[in-house]
């Protein structure tokens, strides 16, 4: 599935539902081309909310990658752990980062599973934090 827009209480978010990896491996979600970091020294917080249907193994690790192209041919690690050790006991977890500290033309979320998770999906919401005042 590709990223889609939804509005809740006048707050626009982007979300995607992805099938998790089929083995103890790393897989990537769709390209995130709507995050636009500013390189002016300010902060611009983005919250990632992860809601899996289930976690078969012991945990999922979620990282943020950048890429120079929208196809993701040359991905590079930006933030190793947006969320670490997402388990069945923690069904909704959020990770908040300053996207300006991790500038890239395109972004990808990576899932690293320690077991076969292909029967499970995960919904990711990306919520921008707007400056106050």
What are the boundaries of each domain within the chain? 25-128
CATH architecture of 25-128: Sandwich (2.60)
* Burial group, residue 86, by CB count within 10 angstroms (0-12, 13-18, 19+): buried
**pTM for the complete prediction?**
0.87
Mean pLDDT (whole number) for 115-130: 85
38-53 residue pLDDT tens: 878 888 899 888 888 8
User: pLDDT per residue over 18-44, tens digit each?
Assistant: 888 887 778 899 999 999 898 788 888
pLDDT in tens, 63-111: 999 999 999 999 999 998 887 777 666 566 778 899 999 999 999 999 8
* Residue 104 confidence (pLDDT): 95
């Amino acid at each position: 599935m590709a990223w889609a827009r939804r509005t809740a209480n006048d707050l626009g978010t982007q979300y995607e539902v992805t099938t998790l990896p089929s083995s103890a491996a790393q897989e990537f979600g769709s390209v995130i081309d709507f995050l636009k970091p500013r390189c002016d020294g300010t902060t611009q917080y983005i919250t990632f909310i992860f809601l899996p249907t289930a976690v078969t193994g012991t945990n999922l690790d979620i990282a943020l990658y950048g890429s120079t192209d929208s196809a993701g041919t040359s991905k590079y690690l930006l933030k190793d752990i947006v969320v670490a050790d997402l388990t069945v006991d923690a069904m909704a977890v959020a990770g908040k980062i300053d996207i300006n500290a991790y500038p890239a033309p395109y972004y990808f979320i990576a899932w690293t599973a320690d077991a076969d998770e292909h029967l499970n999906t995960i919904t990711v919401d990306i919520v921008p934090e707007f400056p106050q005042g």
